[in-house]
Structure 1
Amino acid sequence: MEDNNFNVEGLSNAQVLESRNKYGSNILSFEAEDNVFTVIFKLLKEPMIIILLIATAIYCFSGDFANGIFLLCSILFLSMISLYQDSRSRNALEKLKLYHKPTCKVIREGALLNIPTESLVIGDSMVVEEGTSVPADGLIFHSNDFSVNESLLTGESLSVFKDAATNDHMIFHGTTIISGLAIANVTAIGMETRLGKVGISISKIPEQKTPLERQVNNFVKNMVILGAIVFLMVWGINFLHSHLFMASLLQSLTLAMSIIPEEIPVAFTSFMALGAWRLIKMGIVVKQMKTVETLGSATVICTDKTGTLTENQMSLDRIYLPVKRTIVNLQSPPDQESLAVLETAMWASEPIPFDPMEISIHDLYKKYAIHDERPRFFMRQEYALSGRPPMMTHIFEDKSGSRIIAAKGAPEAIISVCHLTIHQKEEILEAIETLSSTGHRVLGVASASFQGDHFPATQQEFAMEFAGLIAFTDPPKKNIRFVLNDFYHAGITVKIITGDNAQTTSAIAKEIGLRGADHFMNGDELMKLSDDELRLEVVKTNIFTRMFPEAKLRIINALKANHEIVAMTGDGVNDGPALKAAHIGIAMGKKGTEIAKQAASLILPEDDLSKMVDAIAMGRKIYANLKKAIQYIISIHIPIILCVFIPLALGWRYPNLFSPLHIIFLELIMGPTCSIIYENEPMEKNAMLRKPRLPTETFFSFKELFISMVQGLVIALGALLIYKYATSSGFKENTVRTMTYSVLVVSNIFLTLANRSFFYSVLETLRYKNKLVPIIICITISLTGAMIYITPVSQFFGFAPLTGRQLLICLVTGFISVIWLEGLKFFKRINTLEIQNDNSHTTVL
């Protein structure tokens, strides 16, 4: 077993460059990227753009070229805003892809390297091992107990064992390694791989929409249908009154424009894509944009122990010697008996270690071994980690036929395959408890002898001799206690799911302040429970030990059956099913296997669980801001609809007060407000002190819709009262139009400020850091002022300059139409404070 990776030399740098120039890079590309023309074509299918184009055509057809040109310019401006938002979203998504570039192992010039998968070339010697995904098609020329799952290509879920001697010794891009290790010569890359050739059909499978996406799309679709119905009604009413076909069509188009909330889908896409990009800048890789919407509602976090709660700096510092019945501290050089146990543990480890425990074993062996025997031996047979609890066995031989058989694994597994007396078992179990109680991770070590070449089918069939116990220390991360407290304050339950034993896990759990650290359950006990029993047990239990894939999956499904939103961390092959089943699968970036990363929806590059606190906070912020944006859109659309429809339906003096020109200006204000201002809003200070939202809660809940509708109705009432006041005062149509329109604009400005929070007062939210708010408001005021007081512009829009008194009436009406919400917020804060005080008294009692 040479250190130079099985004597494989691999390609030289010059050969790599030559191969890349000849065959290209290892890149799969199934979908054509959207170009500018594709985006413009999508834009032209939007209902609002279609209506504006029809209105432009009507103006031009009737000879009103000024209005037609203005509308055309407005279409271009609206399109530019949409293209800008689309560009921001697509750029954010492209950056997501850049941050999730897989890597692979390859031997070049005799050295084992970790390179980006796309840098692999034909002729490379790629190394694939348990837990990784095959990065290219290749021909196996060396392997140890190697099996691969090819269900992606074949549909067959069972793993297939392969080696250089079998007829089928090809491995294919995209398949996953279940056990062992193999070195293969790369024969095809990129689109020339088998996956590349069948991938086009795979890429055409449509992605399922999330519940929130469906809610948003259904809401907009219903509003479009309503707009179409009202459009026909208004067209009919207008035509019956005026008998003017084109004028009636134009007025009905005005109302249709006011009904369609085309800003909502744009806001949704922007919020999710930019939210994912913001998470990346915080050090959290989001694989799927839709994960962002789920983050804020997480109610339970299931975390593994090693490397997530602990440092993952496995240091072998204790050995139990069964003959002497003593625990030896390895801070000083080991004696001969301890060195023998260490050597057996080394042979039971992978020849090229990647697990922190096995690296520690190899390092200590290299440090203390008098004669390093590793170069003399090669691996003859490998029994992969398996069983409940798991163990693994390796068989090595040298050229003379001398053989070493070594096993290590969970102490219970090793004890069960060794011939021990009851008294010996009791002594070993006592040693295990002693080591576990101090937070050590304990493994059993055993050896065996076997003559002949027909090895047993399973490792448990060997007659093992117990060698001893090895114990690793892995201290908790320094910040983990604070992380758990942040989760608890946010109303999130934390559960540990680990393959380690109960004593070790409980000791660590108590040290980090996990709630319920005294109550635990192991995998075998869990599997005996019925689904209903397990649903009750997962509520009471926060520590699950000696877990295996089926048990982990049952825990996740039981929590989901209890209507919890489940986030789960994982790093191994065995975590794949549970990561996939969880609402939010979280893979570790450093110690995570490629299978875990593929199954997960989030990756923590630094294996830092505190980032999940940030991610959940970001999720809550994005969800809350999106709600604010959509509630704002609904509130401001209602008065526009009513100010267009009611004068016409009730036959008021000026039934067609507004034209498409006026509506388009309001649209130009509302677009940036909802999708730029609110997306940039900071998180409210109480966001992480609230309980997660209920999984059953719909985005468009009646209570929130009701508040938005009341806001809109009050603004509409204010605008229509000004309309009636202006007409009863004998003002001309231009003045009536200007005053009514001014109330709508003023209300829009105050609504923007008031809806920044539905809990804190506007005086509080004015201190929020969002530089876009004053910019958008100043632009709105400047443009409105120009429309009213610059004569050529006011004449174009059919406005008239307002007197100081008229303007003041509009300002006060717009202010009063919105400010009532502050009273509602005040009572909400008072009630919340009373509830908190009651809870604190209850706690004291």
Structure 2
Amino acid sequence: MNYNIPEDLKGLTEAEAAASRKKYGYNRIAAVKKESWVDLLLNILKEPMLILLICVSFIYVLTDDYGEALFMLAAIIGVTAISFYQDNRSKKALEELEKLNEPLSKVIRDSKIVYIPTFEIVVGDLCITEEGNLINADGRITHSNDFSVNESSLTGESFSVFKDSKSEDNKVYSGTVTVSGLAVFTVESIGKETKVGKIGQSILGIKAEVSPLQIQIRNFVKGMAIIGIIIFLAVCIFSFVKTGDFVTSLLSGLTLAMSVLPEEIPVAFTTFMALGAWKLMREGIIIKRSSIVETLGSITVICTDKTGTITENSMQLKHLYEYNSNRIYEEAEFGTKVLDELIDYAMWSSEPVPFDPMEITLHKVYEQTRKPDQRKDYQLFHEYPLEGKPPMMTHLFENEQKDRIIAAKGAPEAIISVSNLSENEKNKIRMVIKGLGEKGYRVLGVAKSHFEGNDFPVRQQDFTFDFLGLTVFYDPPKQGIKNVFQHIYNAGIKIKVITGDNADTTRAIALQAGIENNAPAINGSEIITSSEEDLIKLSEKTTLFTRMFPEAKLEVVRALKAQGHVVAMLGDGVNDGPALKAAHIGVAMGNKGTEIAKSAAALVITNDDLDKLVMGIAAGRRIYANIKKAVQYIISIHIPIILTVSLPLFLGWVFPHIFTPVHVIFLELVMGPTCSIVYENEPMEKDAMEKPPRTLTDTFLNWRELTISIVQGLMITAGILWLYQYSVDCGNDEAKTRTLVFSTLIFSNILLSLVNRSFHYSMLESFKNHNFLLTGISGMVLILFSVILYVGPVSRFFSVASPSVKELGLALLTASVSVLWFEMYKLMKRFYRRNDNNKKNNYS
């Protein structure tokens, strides 16, 4: 873009920038502490499971049982390695996200305009800020063009302030927002030395909200930890009273405590969220906080802008309506003499250095049709920025001969209301506007005025304007947008269009884009004047919200949230900031989005493609479903471990210590990767995007789901304990019985991980969703298990006997019966659901 920046502004050299950075430091308010691998390791060593393992190892050393102590040391290394691998993956994923979320700033270095990370701005830099940018350092204006800034973050004053290098206050401040135009400023303060730094405000200081799912998982793990402590004490006391052997009792208690503690769940949650955000980042969806990935799957309403989101934002000038001739002209006729004044004033009412696509088009049309080009002869000397409801703007230009041009443009209703027209004339123009709007055109009114002297009105509406005509733009819907909206509707999500455009244009574009609408459009003024109760009803039934301004957008988002909706708000402008912040998930566009919109949003779509949001919703649903599968698997497999360790002891069976810590820790080493690596990689089920979104406040595991997991665990326990008694009845010794019990539990674990891939589709159907990690880890478990059973020294260490093929087959059969009954349950569930759907279809 041509910034019209004077050639004498050369900026710092790289050497000067390095020297300044050495003297004044980086442009950060708070020092960013990066977590090293040592910090990660120390955090892992604080985990309850590691503490239990260290305690067990210490007991084995005290009892001179060095073999078990060495195994426990290996287990500590193994658990630490798995946790370290997961935490490191999460850390790297989050660091990649941080890099992408780091805002870039435009500076002049070595006479070139370059983009640098904001934290690299140094004192003495020449920074460029333009409409929609957040100013990232304190400085003094060196050059400006139609520059105004909103300093409400510092002063509380909501009105924008016009400034230039000659103003009494020619300073700009970090944290303020550029409302219009462009400025180049010399940086005087950075980081903690800026005005905002001294006040102590910092975006880095904003604490991320804890999601409902995080709270539920924390509470669940805490509950299980408390149960573990109670059972640990009960087993220790019971065993000591019965045997009088303190060390054996302590080991029994620690074995059970290890089997109860579900330490895999928080690890799985962190891994799922961080890797989910990282995978989305690779698809062009930048997530600010990994925890919102889960919220994505709960979206019930998407509030979207029209221009640039639904449409291409190409803004082609299709027609011009010239008022005096009362005629609409085609593109081929733009060179007609009668249109000269309309084209002139449409261009003069635009910014001298245009940013808006419509204004860029008006400048191009002027260049192509008007000779000579008079833009260099006239200087903008007074301006009324875009304001009002509906909005308009007015520019005053003057040349050296003091000839003046006063040009205004804006929403047609705004221009008509300030023009010198009779009511009949106004109605005639309104009919033209309505006809154009119904075809999906974007219409702007253009007017001119004349004013002598410099005592200009306070309000632009107080000028006397002559109406010149209308500029008619067409911004067609994006290709494929119909399919995108159909996917959203199939997922049970509502769509609301919130736009500054008029009702007729919005209705036409919505129809072309495939948006379902059977209610009249509502404008921003009606929103603001409605009561809270009426607004909640209106926001629920209305699809098209037109002539919207920031306060109205915010009210709609709040009303939808009050209805219990999970709201995604799509926005790209400065005015969208409040609504983006208020929504559950604010979504900004990466290409056309302003910096303030990206800053306020929780998610940024890099290529402005709405289909990416659908991808994000699908990812959120997949991750949520997979976390549930992982947790249900953990609950189901922990139950047989807990009961197999405790029941023989409490019931006084012949082999009360059928499992020791070495067996439990081997199972823990199997379960950890299964729940946090395998299930994280599980593909989305085929009907996931055809179900309605879940309610955000729903309990993570409802009673029905929890009951299913408990029943699965109890069925596996029943199979294991039956085989235990069968082995004893057959006269097998403790080693043989332990072998059969341990084998059944390992087989059950592998089968359960396969069955629980879906709680609806059959296991065979799930195999169509390829998950190579599941195959790899299951194969690795079977190889290690074979080593335990058939390699002599290892078998003796685990106190197991090598089973025959028949015995191994019996353990596999028991495991299959104990786990695969669930396939029959799923079959019945599918059968009844199919019957219900057929009945519904017959009724409809």
TM-score of the superposed pair, with normalisation by structure 1 = 0.95
Counterpart of 2:709?
708
Contact 1:587 1:597 in 2 (8 A): yes
Q: In terms of mean alpha carbon deviation, does 55-64 or 728-737 score higher?
A: 728-737
Matched, 1:373 2:371: no
Cα distance in 2 between the residues matched to 1:661 and 1:410: 76
Counterpart of 1:779?
780
Change (3 A) 1:94 1:747: same
Counterpart of 2:92?
91
Deviations 1:352-409 (A, max 9, x none): 1111111111111112220111112222122221111111112222334332221111
Matched, 1:7 2:25: no
- Read off the aligned partner of 2:222 and give its amino acid letter: K
Deviations 1:39-71 (A, max 9, x none): 111112111111111111111111111111110
Q: CA RMSD in A?
A: 2.2
Counterpart of 1:419?
420
- Read off the aligned partner of 2:9 and give its amino acid letter: G
Deviations 1:598-621 (A, max 9, x none): 111111111111111111111111
Cα distance in 1 between the residues matched to 2:40 and 2:154: 33
Deviations 1:179-212 (A, max 9, x none): 4543312223456545556669764554331111
Deviation at 1:143, TM superposition (A): 4.3
- Read off the aligned partner of 1:534 and give its amino acid letter: L
Contact 1:621 1:683 in 2 (8 A): yes
Counterpart of 1:18?
16
Cα distance in 2 between the residues matched to 1:92 and 1:234: 42
Change (3 A) 1:22 1:261: same
Matched, 1:454 2:455: yes
Cα distance in 2 between the residues matched to 1:597 and 1:216: 30
**How do 1:536-685 residues align onto structure 2 when only pairs under 5 Å count?**
536-685=537-686
Secondary structure of 2:534's aligned partner:
helix
- Read off the aligned partner of 1:779 and give its amino acid letter: M
- Read off the aligned partner of 2:488 and give its amino acid letter: F
Counterpart of 1:291?
292
Matched, 1:489 2:490: yes
- Read off the aligned partner of 1:336 and give its amino acid letter: K
Change (3 A) 1:506 1:733: same
Change (3 A) 1:108 1:64: closer
Cα distance in 1 between the residues matched to 2:212 and 2:201: 27
Counterpart of 1:74?
75
TM-score of the superposed pair, with normalisation by structure 2 = 0.96
Change (3 A) 1:657 1:152: farther
Deviation at 1:35, TM superposition (A): 0.7
Counterpart of 1:253?
254
Counterpart of 2:317?
316
Deviations 1:775-829 (A, max 9, x none): 1111111111111121110100111111232222211111111101111111221
- Read off the aligned partner of 1:543 and give its amino acid letter: L
Secondary structure of 1:376's aligned partner:
coil
Cα distance in 2 between the residues matched to 1:178 and 1:781: 65
Q: Which runs of 5+ in 1 are unaligned?
A: none
- Read off the aligned partner of 2:13 and give its amino acid letter: Q
Cα distance in 2 between the residues matched to 1:362 and 1:132: 23
Deviation at 1:299, TM superposition (A): 1.2
Deviation at 1:678, TM superposition (A): 0.5
Change (3 A) 1:43 1:560: same
Deviation at 1:623, TM superposition (A): 0.8
Cα distance in 1 between the residues matched to 2:442 and 2:152: 35
Q: In terms of mean alpha carbon deviation, does 326-335 or 671-680 score higher?
A: 326-335
- Read off the aligned partner of 1:5 and give its amino acid letter: N
Contact 1:7 1:110 in 2 (8 A): no
Cα distance in 1 between the residues matched to 2:155 and 2:269: 38
- Read off the aligned partner of 1:744 and give its amino acid letter: L
Counterpart of 1:534?
535
Contact 2:440 2:506 in 1 (8 A): yes
**How do 1:31-430 residues align onto structure 2 when only pairs under 5 Å count?**
31-106=32-107, 116-118=117-119, 120-143=121-144, 146-150=147-151, 152=153, 162-189=163-190, 193-195=194-196, 203-204=204-205, 206-430=207-431
Deviation at 1:508, TM superposition (A): 1.0
Contact 1:517 1:543 in 2 (8 A): no
Cα distance in 2 between the residues matched to 1:198 and 1:90: 31
Cα distance in 2 between the residues matched to 1:368 and 1:58: 92
Q: In terms of mean alpha carbon deviation, does 647-656 or 754-763 score higher?
A: 647-656
Secondary structure of 1:375's aligned partner:
coil
Matched, 1:730 2:728: no
- Read off the aligned partner of 2:177 and give its amino acid letter: T
Deviation at 1:126, TM superposition (A): 2.4
- Read off the aligned partner of 1:19 and give its amino acid letter: A
Secondary structure of 1:331's aligned partner:
helix
- Read off the aligned partner of 2:233 and give its amino acid letter: L
Contact 1:96 1:286 in 2 (8 A): yes
Change (3 A) 1:85 1:749: same
Deviation at 1:256, TM superposition (A): 0.5
Secondary structure of 1:374's aligned partner:
coil
Q: In terms of mean alpha carbon deviation, does 199-208 or 532-541 score higher?
A: 199-208
Q: In terms of mean alpha carbon deviation, does 430-439 or 93-102 score higher?
A: 93-102
- Read off the aligned partner of 2:664 and give its amino acid letter: I
Deviation at 1:108, TM superposition (A): 6.1
Contact 1:9 1:108 in 2 (8 A): no
Contact 2:13 2:110 in 1 (8 A): no
Secondary structure of 1:307's aligned partner:
coil
Change (3 A) 1:110 1:74: closer
- Read off the aligned partner of 1:80 and give its amino acid letter: A
Secondary structure of 2:496's aligned partner:
strand
Matched, 1:717 2:715: no
- Read off the aligned partner of 1:818 and give its amino acid letter: V
Deviation at 1:478, TM superposition (A): 1.2
Deviation at 1:332, TM superposition (A): 3.7
Cα distance in 1 between the residues matched to 2:226 and 2:558: 39
Secondary structure of 2:746's aligned partner:
helix
Deviations 1:635-692 (A, max 9, x none): 1111111111111112211112211111110000000000111011111111111111
Change (3 A) 1:780 1:458: same
- Read off the aligned partner of 2:261 and give its amino acid letter: I
Cα distance in 1 between the residues matched to 2:14 and 2:455: 41
Q: How many residues align?
A: 841
Cα distance in 2 between the residues matched to 1:637 and 1:36: 31
